[in-house]
Structures are given as C-alpha cells and as structure tokens.
Amino acid sequence: MSFSIDVNEENFNQEVLQASHSIPVLVDFWATWCGPCKSLMPILEKLATEYNGQFRLVKIEVDQQQNLASQFAIRSVPTVKMVKAGEVVDEFSGALAEDKIREFINKHLGPSENSALQQAISDYQQGETTSALEKMQEILLAEPDNPMVRIEFANILMREKRFDDARDLLNSLNAADKNNPAALALFDQLDSIDTVMAAPDIDELLQVVENDPANSQAREQLCAHYKLRGDYIAAMDQLLEIIRRDRSYNDDAARKELLKIFDVLGPEHELVGQYRRKLAQLLY
C-alpha cells in the first residue's frame, strides 16, 4: 500500500485540504532539476511507509503546478509543509537529515490509540474525570519535555473550568511550543474567557453598540464572546469597527487582537488573507 501521492490543482482540495482533517498531510514541493529534492524524496517516502499511514505524503512538482507553488509562496525547493485541519501548521526548507525529519513529523502526530496520553483523553471523554486527571499528572511527570502532554492536560483543565491551572501549564511551555497552533488557540480561549467573565451577555452588548456605535469596550467584549463561539468573522468585524472608529483605543488593542486571531487561524486560512486586506485598507 502506498502512503504517498502526486497532486495537482484538480485533486489538491480533496487529497490535501480535505484529507488533512482526518490525517496529517506532509506536502513536498520539489522540482525535477533540484539535486537536494532527489535526496530528500526517498527519505520522505521511506518514512511514509514506515509510519504506516500515520501521515500522508503528498508530492507537488513546482514547475508543473505553478499556481499551487505560488499559492503557498514557495521561494525555494525542496520546501516541505505540514497541513492539519486544512491549515499549514509547520514547514522546513532544504534536505534535512532523516533524524531531523523524523523529529519534525513526530511533533505533529497525534498520540496512538494505545498510548497513555490517548487513554487519559479517552477516560475524560467517557466521563471518568478523576482518572483522567490522575493519569495526566502521571504522564506529565514521566514526559516533562513532551509539549503535547501539557497542551492536552491544559485543554482538560479548561473544560473543568480550572482556568488558572490551565494557564500556568501553558505558560510552562518553552517559547517555541507556545507558538504551536493548539497552544495558541488555548491561550486565545483563556484571554476571551477572562474578558467574557467580566462582561455583559451578547444581547446586552449588541444593544449597547446599537445605542452607542463608538463604544469600543462593548465591541471588544463582543469580540471575546464571538471568539468563544468560534465565530471569527463576527469577532474580526468588531475589531475592524473599533480600528475604523478609534485606532488608538486601549493602546491599539483592536489591531493587536486582530493579529492574534491571524496567528490562531494560521497564515494559509482564507479569512486571514481577506481580513489582512481589510486591515490594510483601514490603516493605509
């Protein structure tokens, strides 16, 4: 069975974006004339086979697929990008050594079904909260350098409304792991929770901005509500309205918050490009 595939514009959406919602997709942008590409590809194919379906290897020849290369801003080959849930979450350029590539892949793979981490997550999903928390604590002590343990543990703590404990755990991540998309999303949720807990409900806030459209604080609180709902369009629209009416509000807080949302969504998300353009039009 082959775990790699050549992709073009016609099947890109299905084989990369849609597939990445169920399995990590490693996209290798290469060229026939590129020497390092020829040394890298056999390693990637070997690892795809070795990992036995834990990720999918996709190969895109840049000269034949120039639109895809342009879409992903490929400036040199080989360039390898990891796609998960429809978004690019990590990448590297050049022909890395096999151990470095293995390390790159491992940090983006979910825990296996039989791993202690997955068992703890499963316990929590089945309502066995005490058991899950105890197992998470044991795993954290056994694997202090595994960032996914801290992130998954923090996720459970947040669901249990232990927000301070979750924040402490996330803050204990190193600088690089704090930029993991999963960690960024949790940090963003915590910030929104802090804002919402001190704010009126959505209906009341909507009435406030209807009566006073220039009320930036109400719009900022609405943004937090919308983010917790996962409605990033509504959240970003509120931030743009703050910027349009009062750029200096709370030390340029709306623009800074908009940039944080861009980080959470990821650079390849269609909303990021759309709202970057809207932001640029307001600022310049």
Domain boundaries in the chain?
4-106, 116-178, 196-283
The yes-or-no answer on residue 223 being catalytic is no
Q: Note the pLDDT of residue 1.
A: 45
Beta bridge partners of 82: 26, 90
Q: Note the pLDDT of residue 188.
A: 86
Q: Note the pLDDT of residue 2.
A: 58
- Topology (CATH) of 116-178: 1.25.40
pLDDT tens-digit profile, the chain (284 residues): 457 899 998 889 888 888 887 788 999 999 999 999 988 998 998 888 877 778 899 999 999 999 999 989 899 999 999 998 888 989 999 988 888 898 899 888 866 555 687 788 878 878 899 999 999 999 999 888 888 889 889 989 988 989 999 999 999 998 878 877 778 888 988 989 989 988 999 999 999 999 999 999 999 999 999 988 878 899 999 999 999 999 899 999 999 999 988 887 766 677 888 999 999 999 88
- Backbone torsions φ then ψ of 63, nearest 5 degrees: -70, -35
Q: Note the pLDDT of residue 98.
A: 86
Amino acid at 226: Y
Give the residue among 262, 258, 259 at the shortest CA–CA distance from 241. 258
pTM of the model: 0.55
Long-range contacts of 244-250, Cβ-Cβ distance < 8 Å, separation of 24 or more: 244/282, 245/213, 245/214, 245/216, 246/214, 246/216, 247/283, 249/216, 249/220, 250/216, 250/220
Do the domains 116-178 and 196-283 sit in the same CATH topology, yes or no? yes
Architecture of domain 4-106: 3-Layer(aba) Sandwich (3.40)
Query: Which residues have CB under 8 Å from 187's CB, separation 6+?
Result: 170, 178
Active-site entry in 34, 88, 120, 136: 34
C-alpha 50/C-alpha 26 separation (Å) is: 14
Active-site entry in 7, 19, 37, 69: 37
Contact in structure between 182 and 24 (CB atoms under 8 Å): no
- Topology (CATH) of 196-283: 1.25.40
